[in-house]
Amino acid sequence: MKKNVLLFLLVALFALTAFVLVGCGDEPEPQPGPGPEVEVKRDVKVANAGLSVVLEAGKSVYVTALGQADFAYMQTIVNDAIEGSEITVTVDNQLKAADLNAGDVVISVLGYTSKGISGDITQTSEIARAKALAEKEGIILILCQLSGKERRGESSDPIISEAVKGADYVFIYDADDSKGADYDKKYSTEWCKGFDKLYLFSDEYDIKDYIEVLLGAN
Amino acid sequence: MKFMNDKKIRLIVTTCILTLVLIIGVITSVNFLKFRNYNTEFVVREDVVGKIYKFSEFSKHLKGDVADSNIYEIQGTDNTVAIVKKDKLANYNKIDNIKGLSVCGVDGSSQYDAAKDVFTSNINVLATANDVYENVKSGTYEVGILSYKEAITLINNDQNENVDISDAIVEKVPSLLLIGGTHPNEPSGQLAATVVLENAKVKRGILYVITELNRSAYSYSQPQEGTTWYYHLKTKNGNTRTFKYGSRATNTVDQWPTPDVYTHSSGQQLSSSEVRNINRAYPGNEEGTYTEQIAWVVTNFVNQKDVTMVIDLHEASPEYLTINQCVYHQDAADIWSQMKINGFRYYNPEADKTQKLNMPADQSPLNMHGLTHREVGDYTNAYVFLFETSNASQGKIRGAFTEDLIKYSAPDKFYEALVKYDEEHDTSNIYGAPVEISERVARHVLSFESVITGFNKIKTTRVVTQTGRDNVGDGGVYVGEMILEEGTVPSYYDLIKYGVGNYLLDID
Ligand SMILES: [Zn+2]
C-alpha cells in the first residue's frame, strides 16, 4: 500500500515537473520580421506581367489536381490556353513526382473538394503528393486556385501550404468581395511571402492568358 | 364533511384530462388534415404553358394520389412543329410515321428549312401560316409545318379545333427540366422554379418545370422541429401568395413501415430515414416504394422526352459544407467549365458594370448513390446539375422557428452571433451565412440561366461516358441553342432589389 502511494506521488511529481518545464519552454512567438516587401499583383494584364516561355522543346506538360476540386475546369482553361498550338498535355489527377523529368511543366489546381474525395485518395496522400511535387528538382510547377474561400480551410490549407513551397508561379482567384482565395491574406503574407510570382485574379479565367504565355502557345 | 370521496374526485379529474386531450387531439388532427390537403397554387399562363403532364403518366401507381404532381411544359415559340388532323394524332405521333406524307410549309421560314432535312417527300410551299393551317384542315395536305407560336395561335383561334400539334419531333431542340420542391423544407428551390414557371418565355427549346416534386413531403411538417406551416409573400400588386413549409421526406402516411437500414437499389446502405428521401431514391422504380415511384417520374420523363438538361434545386443549413455551390454529373463537366467562363454574370446598375457571382462546384462522387446528380446522370442522357443555397430554417443553431426565419427577413440572433464569431476567430462554423429568401431564389434563377449559357457553348447533347445502363457512348447530337425570350426571367440584381414576391403572379 505504502509503495503504491509513493509511486503515485512520484508519477505526479514527474508530471508536474514536465508540465512546468514545457510551460517555461514556451518562448514568446517571434514577431514576423519586415522581410522583402512584395506588392500584391492583382489583375495585371498579361502583357505587363513580365512572363516568358518556360516550356522547352521536348519537355512535357502535365495537368493535375492537389485536393481534387475544380479539376475539370482546370483542364478547360489549359485546353483553351493551348488551342491552336502544337502542345499536348497529359492529364492525371494522381500525377506522381517520380514520373517527371527536369524541365517538365506541371500545372496543378489547388483546393480540397467539399464532397469528399473517394477511393484511395486521402488528404494525407494529397499532402504527400504536394510535398513530392514541390521538392522535385528541375520541374516548373504552376499552381492555380480557381475557387475562393470555400476551397480554403482545414481540408485545403495543409495541401496548399506544402505545394507553394516549390511553386514557380501561383495564380489564384481572389475577388474583391472578400470571398476570394486570399481572403485572410495567407497567400500574400504567409505562404508566398517574398515570392514575386503570386498573381491574383478577379476572374479566374484570365489565368488562361498567363498559361498561354508560359507555355509559348500564343 | 366529506360529500365527495377521493374516488369521485379522481374520476372527475380523469374525465377532465381525457376531454382536454380529446379536444387537443381533434383540433390538431383537423389542422394536420387541413395542411395535408392544402394545395399550393401556381399561376399557369395559358398562352405560354402549352401542356401539363401528370406524374402518373410516368409512374402509374401515383394516379390520383397526393404525389400526383405536375410537369409544366413551355415550348419555344420558334420551335418547328407538325400540325395534323386531330383524328390522326395517335397515328402521326412519331416522325417516322409522318415522313412520307404530303407536307406543306411556309416559304422562307426557318421551320421550313428545319423540316427539309427530315421529310423524304417534297414540302409544298405556301404563302402564309394560315394557308398551311387551312390546307391541313381541309385535308389537302396531311402535315403542316409551322412554328409553335403560329400553330398554337391558329389552333386556339379555330372554333372547330379539328387540327392539333403532333408529338412527332420535326426538329430536335434542347430541353431543360427544372426541378423545385424536392425537399419541401428548402423553400428557395420551389420559389425559383415558380418564378421561372410564372415569368419565363422560351424562344427556342423546351422548358419543363416541376414546382412540387415530392407532394407527399409537402403534406406534413418536419417532425419535432416546431416549424411554421405556411409562409407568405406579397406580389407586386400587394396580394398575398401562400406557400407550404413541408418536410424533407415522404409522409409516413404514404410510406410505412420504415426499415432499420435503407438499402438503395445499388446496394448502398443508408440510415432508415433516407428511405423516404427522394434524393436518395433515384433512379427510382415504378414498382418500388412510394418515394421510388416519385423518383421514377423524373428518370422516366427525362428518358421519354429525351431531356437535354436537368437542374435540381436545393437548400441546406448554413453550417453544411456543400453550400452556395453546384454539384454536377461528370458528363456535364464541359458545360460546367463554360458556365464558369460565361455564366453567373449579372448587370449591377448601381456599379454600372457586369458582375460575376462566385459559384464553386464539385463533381458528383461516383460511389454516392441515389442522388439526382449521380443516378439521373447515369440512367438518362441528360446533363445533370444540383444547386444549394443557404437556409437558416434548416439549421441547428437557429432560434425560434418563425416565418421570418424561413425567409430570413429578420436576422436570427444565434446565427448572427456565429457569423460574427467566425469573422473574429477565423473559423468556419458557417459556410454560407444565412441570407434573405430573395437572394437564395436569385442565386438559383441565375444558376438556371447559367446552365443554359454553358450549354449554348456546346450545343450538343451529351456523350455518355458512364452510365448505369448499357448505352455507353450515346449522344453527342447537335441541337443548337436553347434561347429564353430576353428579359422574361428576372435578373439576379432585380430579384434581390425588388424581392421575389414582385415576380410572383396574382392568383385570380
Ligand atoms: Zn435538399
Q: Any idea where the domains of chain A sit in the sequence?
A: 37-214
pLDDT tens digit sequence for B297-328: 999 999 999 999 999 999 999 999 889 999 99
Q: What is the pLDDT of residue A62?
A: 98
Q: Which residues pair with A171 in a beta bridge?
A: A144, A199
List the grid coordinates of B224. Answer: 419535432
User: What is the average per-residue pLDDT within A64-74?
Assistant: 96
Q: What is the pLDDT of residue A114?
A: 82
Q: What is the pLDDT of residue B84?
A: 96
Chain A environment of B358 (Cβ under 8 Å)? 147-148, 175, 177, 179
Q: Are B387 and B326 in contact (CB under 8 A)?
A: yes
Centre of ligand 1 to C-alpha B345, Å, is 25
User: What is the average per-residue pLDDT within B26-54?
Assistant: 96
State chain B's mean pLDDT as an integer: 94
Chain B environment of A75 (Cβ under 8 Å)? 337
pLDDT tens digit sequence for B177-210: 999 999 999 999 999 999 999 999 999 999 999 9
> Which residues of A have a CB under 8 Å from any CB of B?
69-73, 75-77, 113-116, 118-119, 146-148, 150-151, 153-154, 175, 177, 179, 184, 203-205
Task: Please tell me which residue, B122 or B269, carries the higher pLDDT value.
Answer: B269
Q: What is the pLDDT of residue B161?
A: 79
Q: What is the pLDDT of residue A36?
A: 54
Q: What is the pLDDT of residue A24?
A: 41
Q: What is the pLDDT of residue A193?
A: 92
Note which residues in 343-362 of chain B have CB less than 8 A from chain A: 356, 358, 360-362
Cα–Cα distance between B478 and B462 in angstroms, integer?
10
For the packed helices B129-138 and B148-157, what is the interaxial angle rounded to 10 degrees?
Answer: 60
Q: Are B172 and B479 in contact (CB under 8 A)?
A: yes
Q: What is the pLDDT of residue A27?
A: 44
Task: Please tell me which residue, B460 or B464, carries the higher pLDDT value.
Answer: B460
- By CB atoms closer than 10 A (0-12, 13-18, 19+), residue B276 is buried
Per-residue pLDDT at A74 exceeds 90: yes
pLDDT tens digit sequence for B357-396: 999 999 999 889 999 999 999 999 999 999 999 999 999 9
pLDDT tens digit sequence for A103-131: 999 999 999 988 876 667 899 999 999 99
Task: Please tell me which residue, A176 or A100, carries the higher pLDDT value.
Answer: A100
Q: What is the pLDDT of residue B476?
A: 86
Chain A environment of B492 (Cβ under 8 Å)? none
Per-residue pLDDT at B397 exceeds 70: yes
User: What is the average per-residue pLDDT within B251-279?
Assistant: 96
Split at pLDDT 50, 70, 90, the class of A47 is: very high
| Other CB atoms within 10 Å distance of the CB of residue B417 | 13
Q: Do B360 and A150 touch (CB under 8 A)?
A: yes
Q: What is the DSSP letter of B460?
A: B
B293 contact partners, CB below 8 Å, separation of at least 6: B59, B61, B62, B67, B284, B285, B286, B287
Chain B environment of A175 (Cβ under 8 Å)? 356, 358
CA neighbor of B391 nearest in space, from B200, B178, B177, B190? B190
User: What is the average per-residue pLDDT within B385-410?
Assistant: 96
Q: What is the pLDDT of residue A26?
A: 44
User: What is the average per-residue pLDDT within A131-160?
Assistant: 96
Q: Which CATH class is domain A37-214?
A: alpha beta
> Mean pLDDT lowest for which of A176-190, B137-151, B231-245, B258-272?
A176-190
Chain A environment of B333 (Cβ under 8 Å)? 72-73
Q: What domains are defined for chain B?
A: 49-75+172-503 (3.40.630), 80-165 (3.40.190.10)
Q: Do A115 and B368 touch (CB under 8 A)?
A: yes
Q: What is the pLDDT of residue B474?
A: 72
* Closest Cβ–Cβ partner in B327, B334, B337 for A115: B327
Per-residue pLDDT at A14 exceeds 70: no
State chain A's mean pLDDT as an integer: 87
CA distance B420 to chain A (A): 15
Q: What is the pLDDT of residue A13?
A: 55
Q: What is the pLDDT of residue A59?
A: 97
CA neighbor of B208 nearest in space, from B50, B62, B386, B41? B50
% residues pLDDT > 90 (chain B): 89
Centre of ligand 1 to C-alpha B338, Å, is 25
* Closest Cβ–Cβ partner in A76, A148, A184 for B426: A184
Q: Do A203 and B356 touch (CB under 8 A)?
A: yes
User: What is the average per-residue pLDDT within A57-65?
Assistant: 97
User: What is the average per-residue pLDDT within A194-212?
Assistant: 96
| Interface ipTM > 0.85 | yes
Q: What is the pLDDT of residue B360?
A: 94
* Closest Cβ–Cβ partner in A76, A113, A147 for B337: A76
% residues pLDDT > 70 (chain A): 81
* Closest Cβ–Cβ partner in A72, A177, A179 for B337: A72
Going by their DSSP bridges, the two strands B103-106 and B123-126 should be labelled as: parallel
Per-residue pLDDT at A22 exceeds 50: no
